[in-house]
Amino acid sequence: MNFDLTNEQRMIRDMVKDFAEREVAGKAEEVDRTGRFPLETFEKMGGLGILGIPFPEEYGGSDGDTISYALAVEEVGRACGSTGLSYAAAVSLGASPIYYFGTEEQKRAYLVPLASGRALGSFGLTEANAGSDAGGTQTKAVLDGDEYVINGSKSFITNASYAKTVIITAVTGKSEIGKNVISAFIVPTDTPGFRVSREYEKLGLRGSNTAELILEDVRVPKENLLGDPQKGFKQFLYTLDGGRISIAALSVGIARAAYEAALKYAKERTQFGETISKFQAIQFKLADMAMQIELARNMVLKAAWLKDQKRPFTQEAAMAKLFASETAMRAADQAVQIHGGYGYMKEYPVERYLRDAKLMEIGEGTSEILRMVIARQIGC
């Protein structure tokens, strides 16, 4: 068993780490405070090939693998949770389904600009009454001649206001047993009838754009149907499995940021004549944080490795996302505690890490849903 990264994986990680420290970290506080989406950062990421890491060069990508991509998400998330979330959503949700299930024509038309950084993508699955129960989708698509007409709405959609394309899930019929058949469509955001109705104000990750979408008689060519129309539900479940690896990696990045800030503060803060890093109560907190982050990262990399080997990874992705997200919350909470009163103040970043970490336990499958996924995988 070899835990070493390849030379290419190390090069990608180090390149992204250097970029994140130079271009992302310094804007994190301002991005969070103002809620500004840092579009210029994504333009630079596109120029460096960061948005195309897991895709082949022939489709505008960097010909990397899932491990390299997970390491990149961790580094971006460590620098800025908001930027990390939008990056993960653009690649795992906005572009990957086209790579997984798209035709050659769809890949040339839509994946190439997404992977090369000329455009951002988004994924419209969640609705007001279809969150954890994604099968409860109410958005509908009806074939009319050579076009599908889509009507419905989507909630909590990342990057929606800045995306050039959104992958929309919609009911297209009934199965033999009476269940909804859910299919996916590539919808350019300049299509008539497609609009962003509002942008959400959030507790954390405030610089990551999150919006509600309305689709009113949106017409797309039938060629924009993505993958097998009878297997749309399975397709987006596979997409979510991959997305959970990226959110797990993002969680590790946020946890690292919290841990590193707490360790630095503990070595500087003096009480009772010595730095608080000398107190066993603080040492135990930091030791637990370091241990849990290492475990979480190993779980992420195992799930990513299984995906790269084209082996089943649903269980491992769910475990990685569940453990890493809860690790991020614990690390951020303890970082605030170590900072004491200062941890509650805006002048230190740990309060932001705590706000950012909370969504990790909700998005891409809540902790409760992930425990259900794991239970099913182990035969319960």
Q: What is the pLDDT of residues 249-270, one digit of tens each?
A: 999 999 999 999 999 999 999 9
**What span, in angstroms and rounded, lies between the C-alpha atoms of 26 and 111?**
30
Rg (CA), the chain: 21
Residue 157 is predicted with a pLDDT of: 97
Q: Dump pLDDT digits (tens) for 7-17.
A: 999 999 999 99
pLDDT at 179: 83
Q: Tens of pLDDT along 305-341? A: 999 999 999 999 999 999 999 999 999 999 999 999 9
Answer whether residue 178 shows pLDDT above 80. no
The answer, yes or no, to whether residue 231 has pLDDT greater than 90, is: no
pLDDT tens track for 92-112: 999 999 999 999 999 999 999
Helix %, strand %, coil % for the chain, to 5? 60, 15, 25
Instruction: Output the pLDDT for position 232.
Output: 83
- Annotated catalytic residues are 364
Task: Record the tokens describing residue 347, joined without a space.
Answer: 């002048």
Give the pLDDT score at 30.
97
Task: Please report the pLDDT score of residue 134 as a whole number.
Answer: 80
Which amino acid belongs to residue 33? R
The pLDDT of residue 260 is: 98
Q: Which of the four pLDDT bands, split at 50, 70 and 90, describes residue 148? A: very high
Look over the chain and give the mean of its residue pLDDT values, rounded to a whole number: 96
Which one of 1.10.540.10, 1.10.3450.40, 3.20.20.70, 3.40.50.150 gives the CATH number of domain 7-120? 1.10.540.10
Give 122-231's CATH code, choosing from 1.10.10.10, 3.40.50.620, 2.40.110.10, 2.60.120.620: 2.40.110.10
E strand or H helix that includes residue 185: strand 180-188
Residue 359 identity (one-letter amino acid): L
pTM across the whole model: 0.96
Query: Does CATH number 3.90.850.10 belong to domain 233-377?
Result: no
Distances (CA, A) of 355 to 29, 131, 328, 339: 13, 21, 11, 16
Length of the chain: 380
At residue 213, does pLDDT exceed 90? yes
Structure tokens at 198: 């509002």
Which residue from 223, 231, 156, 233 is spatially nearest to 188, judged by alpha carbons?
223
**DSSP readout, 212-272?**
EEEEEEEEEEGGGEES-GGGHHHHHHHHHHHHHHHHHHHHHHHHHHHHHHHHHHHHH-EET
Spell out the domain ranges in the chain.
7-120, 122-231, 233-377
Q: With contact defined as beta carbons under 8 Å apart, do 139 and 184 qualify?
A: no
290 and 259 in contact (C-beta within 8 Å)? yes
pLDDT band at 379 (very low <50, low <70, confident <90, very high): very high
The SS3 call for residue 204 is coil
For residue 110, CA distances in Å to 103, 164, 165 come to 10, 9, 8
Q: What is the pLDDT of residue 133?
A: 85
Is the pLDDT assigned to residue 1 strictly greater than 90?
no
For the cut 80, the answer to whether the pLDDT of residue 296 exceeds it is: yes
